[in-house]
Structure 1
């Protein structure tokens, strides 16, 4: 998950201790029938307190409904193995920051499809933001000179063939500010307006380095 963590061996203790970006203990439970029918919440909480952690997560193939209900009233999260696999797949494919993953995992209660839906919304927002960055780079490249305002850049985007979802002026302005930041340097601004300092192909690599989730036009997800 991109976290600083330690594997802890030995019975009676937790399985994994995540130390950063949040302090969390993870316990793995295995049952012959593949489902945890009861959970000693006090033992899990004891391990959490022994490690000085802020939250506890319990992983198992599945959980009985009463275990899920109990998790809602305690400072722990239950997550089924299949859901954990889905979560980690999204983390790897879309380079989701560990802070976002842990924000979902450290909400007390059962980790279920509603939390994966929230993650999908976050991922889509980042994809949309990346596509706006690429549209701005492409528009400035097409302008072949300085473009005075964010609104002018937006109108170039509007006129570009293949532009589907048109960004707002504020979204374009935010993209220009990011691209013009010294740490990025893909756009420069002077008294005449905005100019692109890279080409579109390099822009794709640049935006990927910012989030690693942007798909070039024509590529299906």
Structure 2
């Protein structure tokens, strides 16, 4: 995709690759063939038009905002995104006032990497892409913080399952579970009692059913390996920690 973004003779291929990229993000996206229209239309999770700009010099120096908005209105879309190999500083500065989003190919590739590695939900990336202005590292930082929170939550779920599996019988309270985790973990970043309690509530939900609770306390209904598969099925939120355990 990066190569075609700077090849003026491959603009249709570039447009199609961008359409496929948005599909990989989990969107319903289609390439629009021909001129006088937008290049890619996203129908879900939101209705967006995407203008794709190949530039041999590696950057867009100006945008025809009126024409882009015309294409948006023609399609009845709610927002417009411009994809290019890069953008001149003045285009980035003006992006906030144009009610559209600019994103360079390298940033789009970064989004794809996070989608592939962490199964980031389409709605999460769409929220960042529909904020007017330039999509830059600050938005990737927001996404990375969200991913890290999910990883931490997944690790807590696995720690709770492992703690209950190691316990000799039911464990009465979330605080008791936490003390078992403290004994297991070789780390200063031990989950709080509230985080443990939240994990227990999630694992005890009828739709999951890995943990049961009665008057004697909490019990686990599966082993750790099955727990890993379950937590992985909740959205790959523990991919990094699971891979570390498998190695």
Query: Please, which runs of 5 or more residues in structure 1 have no aligned partner?
Result: none
* Residue pairs, 1:40-59, within 5 angstroms: 40-59=64-83
- What is the number of equivalent residue pairs in this alignment? 221
Which residue does 1:216 correspond to in 2?
242
Query: Please, which runs of 5 or more residues in structure 2 have no aligned partner?
Result: 1-24
TM-score computed with the length of structure 1 as normaliser: 0.95
Moved segments of 4+, more than 2 Å:
161-164, 216-221
Q: 1:31 and 2:55 equivalent?
A: yes
Pair 7,35 (structure 1): closer, same or farther in 2 beyond 3 Å: same
What is the SS of the residue equivalent to 1:195? Answer: strand
* Residue pairs, 1:63-102, within 5 angstroms: 63-102=87-126
- For residues 213 and 173 of structure 1, the distance between their equivalents in structure 2, rounded to whole angstroms, comes to 18
Which residue does 1:191 correspond to in 2?
215
Deviation at 1:82, TM superposition (A): 0.7
Which residue does 1:127 correspond to in 2?
151
* Residue pairs, 1:82-161, within 5 angstroms: 82-161=106-185
Which residue does 2:22 correspond to in 1?
none
- For residues 245 and 60 of structure 2, the distance between their equivalents in structure 1, rounded to whole angstroms, comes to 42
Instruction: Name the one with the larger helix percent.
Output: 2
What is the SS of the residue equivalent to 1:36? Answer: coil
Deviation at 1:193, TM superposition (A): 1.2
Deviation at 1:14, TM superposition (A): 1.2
TM-score computed with the length of structure 2 as normaliser: 0.85
1:87-146 CA-partner distances (Å, limit 9, x unpaired): 111111100000110111111100111111111111111000000000000000011321
Q: Which deviates the most, 165-174 or 12-21?
A: 12-21
What is the SS of the residue equivalent to 2:102? Answer: strand
Which residue does 1:5 correspond to in 2?
29
Which residue does 2:42 correspond to in 1?
18
Deviation at 1:161, TM superposition (A): 4.4
Pair 219,145 (structure 1): closer, same or farther in 2 beyond 3 Å: closer
Deviation at 1:217, TM superposition (A): 7.5
**Structural RMSD (CA):** 1.6
What is the SS of the residue equivalent to 1:216? Answer: helix
